[in-house]
Amino acid sequence: MTTENASTESKLNETEKKRALSGLTLAELTDFVSELGLPKFRAKQIHSWIYAKWAKSFDEMTDLGQELRAKLNEVATIQFLKLAHLEVSRDGTRKYLFELPDGQLIESVLIAFEDRDSLSACLSSQVGCAVGCTFCATGYLGFKRNLTHQEIVDQVMSIQRESGQRVANIVYMGQGEPLLNTDTVISSIKTLMNSVGIGARHITVSTSGIVPGINDLAAANLPITLALSLHAPDRATREEIVPITSKYPIHKVMEAMHDYVNTTRRRVTIEYVLLEGVNDSEEQARMLAELVKDLHCNINLIPFNPTMNKEGQILYQRPDIRTQKRFRDISGRTGKTVTIRLERGTDIDAACGQLHNKFLAAKN
């Protein structure tokens, strides 16, 4: 581990040198209180205050004595991620730009839907991204580093603290490729389940098709949902818009997806961003239907949310609604459930990386 990574992993407050406790597991909190010479049951109390009651300070922890609270204030903090910027959509979507302890920036999103009471949070797993999908604004940032387990969990806690609302669903679809940070993503899922109280069946991990990561996630055998960002059924088109296809060809990715289903007995999701004139033809819809006909899956079509490259150019357009519906009908001809994703937050730079890029451009 490099010095920089070790510094990030410890997540000390750089100005006060206090240990940040939000995002830690019960086992990590137990180790922490043991280092202070405290009985282990104190860890459970602190754990409950952080994750169940969203305590803002140790002073709120009324079942801890005044002397103990003072001691904790000297050596630790439960401060969550620093909010660098917040945008709120007309539809209630909240887009967060968080600053990490080392100054790096990540995005998270809180999404509300009219047809359901539960809220969903979209989390980042890396600072930037190395995959470089041509339609994704995060790709223009490049890859900086992986997030730590604590930084991933802290996104949820910080969102709940700021919004005052409980998150019930998690999607790892923010900045970064989750399965290029697989071990950390898996550990964060376990903390979200065991500490934050989010059910495994309400957690989705999205991947561009990292075959080793898919295999590792299958081996973990967590009852979550795996989503494949496919975006094209043929190799030539997919290599153009998802460059990592040259390393992990479609047939290898589909083999890994079938193995995942066979191992976990869980239905997977096929994510497909519709780009006008690129991947939205009737022939490509038929190819998609053929490609996934034997896979236990649903198909989620995503109308492109326009993003700009570094030169300020919009490289793609979204197809009109008639084309979207035609693609939906054809790709579902083998009996798969095919939906067109409801748009949320389009008025606030809600696509991955948009707010980050905009914020950096303003600073420069």
Q: Which of 129, 133, 297, 352 is catalytic?
A: 352
Rounded Cα gap, residues 217 and 281, in angstroms: 33
Q: Mark out the alpha helices in the chain (DSSP H runs).
A: 3-10, 26-35, 41-51, 66-75, 149-163, 182-191, 211-220, 235-241, 250-264, 282-291, 321-331, 354-363
**The three-state (H, E, C) secondary structure of 284-325, written as one string:** HHHHHHHHCCCCCEEEEEEECCCCECCCCCECCCCCCHHHHH
Rounded Cα gap, residues 266 and 262, in angstroms: 8
The tokens describing 199, both together, are 């059910």
Q: Is 283 a catalytic residue?
A: no
Please say whether the beta carbons of 103 and 359 come within 8 A. no
Q: Is 352 a catalytic residue?
A: yes
DSSP class of residue 167 equals -
Kindly write down the DSSP assignment for every residue of 177-212, as one continuous string.
-GGGSHHHHHHHHHHIIIII---GGGEEEEES--HH
Please say whether the beta carbons of 205 and 172 come within 8 A. yes
Residues 6+ apart with CB under 8 A from 19: 10, 11, 12, 32, 75, 76, 77
Q: Which of 107, 151, 177, 271 is catalytic?
A: 107
Residue 71 burial (CB count, 10 A): 16
Rounded Cα gap, residues 171 and 345, in angstroms: 16
Rounded Cα gap, residues 193 and 235, in angstroms: 37
Mind telling me the catalytic residues? 107, 352
